[in-house]
A = this chain, B = another copy of it.
Amino acid sequence: MINQLISKIRRTNAPIVVGLDPMLNYVPEHIQKAAFAEYGETLEGAGEAIWQFNKGIVDAIYELVPAVKPQIAMYEQFGIPGLAAFRKTVDYCHEKGLVVIGDIKRGDIGSTCEAYAVGHLGKVQVGSKWYGGFNEDFSTVNPYLGSDGVKPFLKVCAEEKKGIFVLVKTSNPSSGQFQDRLVRAKAQEGDKPLYEVVGEQVAAWGEEYMPQEGAYSYVGAVVGATYPEQGRILREIMPKAYILVPGYGAQGGKGADLVHFFNEDGLGAIVNSSRGIIAAYQQAQYAHLGEKGYADAARAAVLAMREDISSALNGKTR
């Protein structure tokens, strides 16, 4: 799946993943009205509204980008009907040929962790039959619990040829509260921040899980665009890990900040934008397209993002 992702990135020339994180206040009024007319102002109505919204976005962008990243929290808040919309979105994106990164940030231990891995990336056994619960291609994983919280995912990844992105240095302002704490390392090395220790572990996990010798690994990492200097260091620590980069656009990351997340081969990173694309129609520069043109605005925002990243990478001197 990492090879598939890379070949799609090459074909689209867009190391971009569109974050399908539909807040109800991003959903244009005509879509909300139609959904509520059919299902009432219920959780089912909300699920229908975000599903129809997503469908419009996906139809507008699927030829331009390799992947989407639905953020499951935005669906989970609407309970079962919300999660049904998540599943429907995953399936539809697959129909359209997109790679789906489930932004689920799960992390647990033992059989519990296996259950998450199986439910999102694998298949679960029921009697003599096997089923996929949510069927994503990649998941994000929280590393706080150590190897016990990651290895069950790796096992399923190896079986299914799927992948994970481990949280290393997140894009938010308070990510340094624990991730940047200097931890004692070997005597000759000096202290280093926790995110470097986690990054080293990601590289170590990844060495055992790659599709072929020398390729990018099934084990990627999440490093926020808002921390370009840390990105540069982590790029060196984890040369074979694909880096999923959130924080571009609405959170403040710019094209120029992204340069150091990529390798010399022009690969190695995929940049996420959520709000900046799916709610582009609410920005002044796309306002002329109106609410009904929300999908066109998303398409235009993808093209602008592709251009921004491409310029930054072409101007790259290392």
Say yes or no: B124 contacts A73, CB within 8 Å.
Answer: no
Say yes or no: B41 contacts A126, CB within 8 Å.
Answer: yes
Say yes or no: A43 contacts B144, CB within 8 Å.
Answer: no
Say yes or no: A45 contacts B126, CB within 8 Å.
Answer: yes
The proximity string for A residues 88-124 relative to B, scoring 1 for CB distances below 8 Å and 0 otherwise, is 0000000000000000011111111101101110001
Say yes or no: B126 contacts A46, CB within 8 Å.
Answer: yes
Interface flag for A286 (CB, 8 Å): no
Interface flag for A7 (CB, 8 Å): no
In the assembly, what is the distance between CA of A282 and CA of B79, in Å? Answer: 34
Interface residues in A36-78 (C-beta closer than 8 Å to B): 36, 41-43, 45-46, 71, 73-74, 76-78
In the assembly, what is the distance between CA of A191 and CA of B191, in Å? Answer: 11
Given contacts A105-B108, A146-B175, A179-B146, contact A76 B116 (CB under 8 A): yes
* Chain B residues, CB < 8 A from A21: 111-112
The proximity string for A residues 131-159 relative to B, scoring 1 for CB distances below 8 Å and 0 otherwise, is 11110000000111111110000000000
Say yes or no: A144 contacts B178, CB within 8 Å.
Answer: yes
In the assembly, what is the distance between CA of A87 and CA of B43, in Å? Answer: 14
Say yes or no: A146 contacts B178, CB within 8 Å.
Answer: yes
* Chain B residues, CB < 8 A from A73: 106, 108, 112-113, 115-116, 119
Nearest B-chain residue to A135, judged by Cβ: B79
- Interface residue tally on A, bucketed by range: 35 or more
Say yes or no: B172 contacts A197, CB within 8 Å.
Answer: no
Given contacts A74-B115, A77-B116, A127-B32, contact A178 B194 (CB under 8 A): yes
Q: What's the minimum C-beta distance from A134 to chain B, rounded to whole angstroms?
A: 6
Q: What's the minimum C-beta distance from A186 to chain B, rounded to whole angstroms?
A: 12
Nearest B-chain residue to A131, judged by Cβ: B43
Name, among A73, A74, A134, A191, the residue most crowded by chain B CB atoms within 10 Å (CB to CB).
A73
* Chain B residues, CB < 8 A from A147: 174, 177
Name, among A36, A41, A87, A171, the residue most crowded by chain B CB atoms within 10 Å (CB to CB).
A41
Say yes or no: A42 contacts B178, CB within 8 Å.
Answer: no
Interface flag for A182 (CB, 8 Å): yes
Say yes or no: B148 contacts A77, CB within 8 Å.
Answer: no
Say yes or no: A43 contacts B126, CB within 8 Å.
Answer: yes
Say yes or no: B77 contacts A119, CB within 8 Å.
Answer: yes
Q: What's the minimum C-beta distance from A218 to chain B, rounded to whole angstroms?
A: 20
Q: What's the minimum C-beta distance from A147 to chain B, rounded to whole angstroms?
A: 4
* Interchain Cβ contacts under 8 Å between A and B, 6 examples: A24-B125, A76-B115, A79-B131, A80-B83, A109-B170, A109-B172
Apart from A45-B127, A79-B87, list 7 A-B contacts with CB within 8 A. Answer: A24-B126, A41-B128, A73-B108, A78-B124, A79-B133, A146-B178, A178-B197
Q: Which residues of A approach B to under 8 Å, CB–CB?
A: 21, 23-24, 32, 36, 41-43, 45-46, 71, 73-74, 76-80, 82-84, 87, 105-113, 115-116, 118-120, 124-129, 131-134, 142-149, 167, 170-179, 181-184, 191, 194, 197-198, 201
